Structure 1
């Protein structure tokens, strides 16, 4: 069934809100069935607060829509946050269980006309096994890490073009004021970016997902 048909929970409705729920898909622990989605989200304007998503490959299929993940825990190994949504991950824990190699994010934006991307702000990255920050699943993949604490599990190169060199010119992979041993950009691929404060500003707050129009947070 690949990625799209394996979800434990599949959300298609708009304005969906989940709080303090654990969603798991452990099928991926079987070497013959690596792809196993815990949560697939296709609805627009969804909020996930203190949610635990546990899996291995493709744990979160953040497929379509605008979403807010706040103080949540996401565990996996290969591309464990993937899809073409426009999502803000704020104060989340990203936990790698990669055995040999892995990647946190695989964004699937294919066109410059699409307004999508993953923004990770004030997140903590830890676990075991070397992982990339992101892979360019789509030609215009967009993934930004800002003010994140990165453990030494981050592969020095940081990013991958998915073996499609043309994506080096079109993908936007950036880091801004991150900390921890894994934030050392010395070995990063040259086509990734160390963002200035001006470049990072659009990705830093709830404005990134037009949160003032639909989020109601105390």
Structure 2
């Protein structure tokens, strides 16, 4: 495969973190402070970007035959700090056993895998919270992440993020994050996030997950962010009990929460829709299909009875055997349209300000 002539990368710079030629950070063009479909695509035949602008693409090939870096982290390191243009990192099919951090100092980065091949580019590691880090201290849940995204306007498509630790119910220190997102604004399209306990740490910021696959057993989507999950597949692999979402919110004034719209919930075990992590935890499911794996009570206050008065757990027009509310805890709520409306679309995440889709 012939690489784009627009890729101006010094291969020896993989560890140094710079571009040869016109440095991306020196561009005079105003940066596009939004995410568009173009940011999630490359022309695979020639790896030339479909744009009139001279944007950059870095190619990752673990075999070293076709790319500029053998590792995903090496490609991230090649992006200059405080870059002012979108940089697309195209990841060839393969299993990349590494931990990856996209730092806050490198905004406007895209991870792109092979078109129609979400499972073909897999970034995987096996850290858990009880493992020791370089300083001899336990990593903790935050530090266990296979991939950490701190970069603003980050987006990813057709890539799998995985933590291969297999957590057993009741096991200590088994939290094992596959993807941690701290970006102010980020989008994930047709990605897979696979783990068992605490799979996706949707930590802080405003995020959009569209047509993604997210797998786990216990609290496998958790954090304090404000995020819309639209048309996603939520797959429980619990043997017995588990929970899908654990949202943390400490005040009614905090404009955060998880909204699931048009998602499909399937798998195994008996799982809660959500657990109240924080007094004002907020999780809403709308127009979702729920298989019979949902615990009939639906929701848990996490052994904090006072949270029954303040947690916001809502359901609106869901379908399937798991959507039956006859045995739901009385402090959860069946929303009407007016109550559900703020959570039904991209306006929930102020999408008009940063998405061009």
Fold-level similarity (TM above 0.5): yes
Q: Is 2:284–2:314's contact at 8 Å kept on the other side of the alignment?
A: yes
Q: Once the 2 structures are TM-superposed, how far is the Cα of residue 29 of structure 1 from its aligned partner?
A: 3.9
Q: Deviations over 1:27-46 (max 9, x none)?
A: 13465652100000011110
Partner residue, 1:7: 145
Q: Does 1:28 align with 2:137?
A: no
Q: Which whole-Å CA distance do the structure 2 matches of 1:54 and 1:33 have between them? A: 18
- Equivalent position to 2:212, from 68, 72, 85: 72
Q: Is 1:28–1:35's contact at 8 Å kept on the other side of the alignment?
A: no
Q: Is 2:272–2:300's contact at 8 Å kept on the other side of the alignment?
A: yes
- Equivalent position to 1:105, from 239, 245, 261: 245
Q: Which whole-Å CA distance do the structure 2 matches of 1:2 and 1:167 have between them? A: 26
* RMSD over aligned Cα atoms: 1.0
Q: Which whole-Å CA distance do the structure 2 matches of 1:153 and 1:92 have between them? A: 17
Q: Once the 2 structures are TM-superposed, how far is the Cα of residue 5 of structure 1 from its aligned partner?
A: 1.2
Q: Once the 2 structures are TM-superposed, how far is the Cα of residue 112 of structure 1 from its aligned partner?
A: 1.5
Larger radius of gyration between Structure 1 and Structure 2: 2
Q: Which whole-Å CA distance do the structure 2 matches of 1:137 and 1:193 have between them? A: 18
Q: Once the 2 structures are TM-superposed, how far is the Cα of residue 78 of structure 1 from its aligned partner?
A: 0.3
Partner residue, 1:202: 342
Q: Which stretch of structure 1 is more off in the superposition, 135-144 or 21-30?
A: 21-30
Partner residue, 1:19: 157
Q: Helix, strand or coil for the counterpart of 1:48?
A: strand
TM-score by length of 1: 0.97
Partner residue, 1:213: 353
Partner residue, 1:38: 178
Q: Is 1:143–1:172's contact at 8 Å kept on the other side of the alignment?
A: yes
Q: Deviations over 1:122-180 (max 9, x none)?
A: 00000011100000001100000000000000000000001001100000000000000
Q: Does 1:139 align with 2:279?
A: yes
Q: Which stretch of structure 1 is more off in the superposition, 23-32 or 151-160?
A: 23-32
Partner residue, 1:172: 312
Q: Helix, strand or coil for the counterpart of 2:308?
A: helix
Q: Is 1:76–1:96's contact at 8 Å kept on the other side of the alignment?
A: yes
Q: Once the 2 structures are TM-superposed, how far is the Cα of residue 26 of structure 1 from its aligned partner?
A: 1.4
- Matched pairs, number: 217
Partner residue, 2:203: 63
Q: Helix, strand or coil for the counterpart of 1:129?
A: strand
TM-score by length of 2: 0.60
Q: Once the 2 structures are TM-superposed, how far is the Cα of residue 111 of structure 1 from its aligned partner?
A: 1.2
Q: Which runs of 5+ in 2 are unaligned?
A: 1-138
Q: Is 2:167–2:197's contact at 8 Å kept on the other side of the alignment?
A: no
